[in-house]
Amino acid sequence: MKNLRKLSVLFLVAAGLFMLNSCNKDEVVTVDVIAITTASDYINMINSFSLSTVDELTSSVDDALKSATIVDCLTVTIHENEDGEFWPRSWTFDYGTENCECFAGNMKRGKINVSISDWWKNEGSLKEITFEDFYMNDNKMEGVKTTLNTGLNENGNLIFTKNVTDAKLTYADGTSMTWACEKNSEQIEGGATILFADDVWSVTGGGAGVNLDKNSYTMAITTALVYNNGCFYPVSGIIEISTEGEEVKVINYGDGECDNVITVTVGDVTETIEL
């Protein structure tokens, strides 16, 4: 994602003033710095903290929750309780000290620590995820993600409140973005089975943080994001990003296709971007 960012500075200088009065110390030179934070950077922040693989592997039925080597570079360890009780449960996801290629070509290294109070489908179940010297695509991730099962809604669908706090994504060049959010996830399909392949989620909510330009931003889901299991990005939905000193960015994930293509609209200009 980092290589999608464009760093450009436009110097607007009145040349005639320099020629006529180049020694005038009171002369004002206007410098307009164009923002370096792109729509891709915001999306990268959101998706980095989605952690779908971790959620899936810690949400299996009881007898499937075992320590295992998932791929050559990922080892999942379950820490047994001293009292012998099955719940609460905790895991360590160890991707090793060198980049490990994972789903959708993402490179990971370091550790993710997970704890959960009860089986994810039981109301009141609380999952907490933290990071230990963890990097995704060479970007360091910090923060805490919690997922709380708040029970069934009026449609009989499971609802989860997902919070991300104190999140920070630091790029290899030392620049960073921060992020905090509260979202509600509704399981709109697949709730009748124990399979993950048929799960579909509808997500609402929003968040805020400080971008690469050190400007504050807010993000709101204005049309629910729909996630199909097996798709890295939402297949539909719209979010709006309001950034200090900039026009609103409207990001549209499309009409249901499982792809990495979005449209970004700023003012009257719409651009198609491949993530």
Supply 249's token pair. 């960015």
End-to-end CA gap in the chain: 7
- Lowest mean per-residue pLDDT among 63-77, 79-93, 201-215, 244-258: 63-77
Nearest partner of 164 among 186, 146, 185, 178, judged by Cα: 146
The DSSP bridge pattern shows strands 158-170 and 139-152 to be: antiparallel
Residue listed under structure tokens 């009881």: 62
Nearest partner of 233 among 1, 3, 71, 76, judged by Cα: 1
Please give the backbone phi and psi of residue 89, each rounded to the nearest 5 degrees, phi first: -125, 150
> Which amino acid, one-letter code, is at 107?
M
Using left for φ > 0, alpha for ψ between -120 and 50, and beta otherwise, residue 62 falls in alpha
CA distance to 2, 95, 110, 142, 207, per residue, from 98 (Å): 19, 8, 8, 18, 32
Number of helices followed by number of strands (H, E) in the chain: 3, 17
CA distance to 10, 19, 42, 131, per residue, from 22 (Å): 21, 6, 42, 55
> What are 15-73's pLDDT values in tens digits?
333 333 443 445 544 334 456 788 889 988 888 888 777 777 777 655 555 565 667 78
Query: Does residue 103 carry a pLDDT above 70?
Result: yes
Do the Cβ atoms of 174 and 150 come closer than 8 Å? no
What's the pLDDT at 90? 93
Do the Cβ atoms of 161 and 190 come closer than 8 Å? no
What's the pLDDT at 45? 85
Residue 147's DSSP bridge partners are: 127, 162
CA-based torsion, 179, 183, 188, 191: positive or negative:
positive
Non-local CB neighbours of 261 within 8 Å, separated by 6+ positions: 254, 272, 273, 274, 275
> What are 138-164's pLDDT values in tens digits?
999 999 999 999 999 999 999 999 999
What's the pLDDT at 53? 72
Do the Cβ atoms of 245 and 253 come closer than 8 Å? no
Averaged confidence pLDDT in the chain: 83
What's the pLDDT at 74? 87
39 CB-side CA count, 13 A? 23
Supply 104's token pair. 């959708």
